[in-house]
């Protein structure tokens, strides 16, 4: 796997996770209380993404961990399909 692709693709996924998590947290914060489910989901996705990115950089088989990163993006992309 090309290291340039790894170092460009993964930060983009991380930025999208933070942006989408922020959008969900603030969109669901209409009643003044924190939307705990959005916060927990964002933290879990960020944690999984960080572990996958680290494994891509340190592991010999970075392609398998790239697939894990793509799987992590599915819950991130799936809710936006309902808005289109």
> Domains of the chain: which residue ranges?
3-82
- Tokens 């705990």 locate to 36
Helix axes 62-77, 3-27, angle to 10 degrees: 20
Counting beta carbons within 10 angstroms of the beta carbon of residue 56, is it exposed (0 to 12), middle (13 to 18) or buried (19 or more)? Answer: buried
Residue 76 in this model has a pLDDT that exceeds 80: no
CB 16 within 8 A of CB 45: no
- pLDDT tens digits for 38-57? 788 888 888 988 998 888 88
pLDDT, tens digit (0-9, with 9 covering 90-100), for 1-47: 577 888 888 898 888 888 888 877 777 666 666 677 778 888 888 89
- Which pTM was predicted? 0.74
């Amino acid at each position: 796997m090309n290291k340039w692709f790894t170092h460009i693709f993964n930060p983009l996924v991380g930025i999208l996770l933070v942006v989408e998590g922020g959008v969900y947290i603030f969109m669901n914060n209409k009643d003044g209380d924190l939307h705990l489910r959005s916060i927990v989901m964002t933290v879990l996705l960020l944690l999984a993404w960080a572990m996958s990115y680290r494994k891509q950089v340190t592991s010999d088989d970075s392609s398998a961990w790239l697939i894990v990163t793509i799987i992590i993006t599915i819950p991130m992309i799936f809710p936006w399909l309902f808005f289109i």
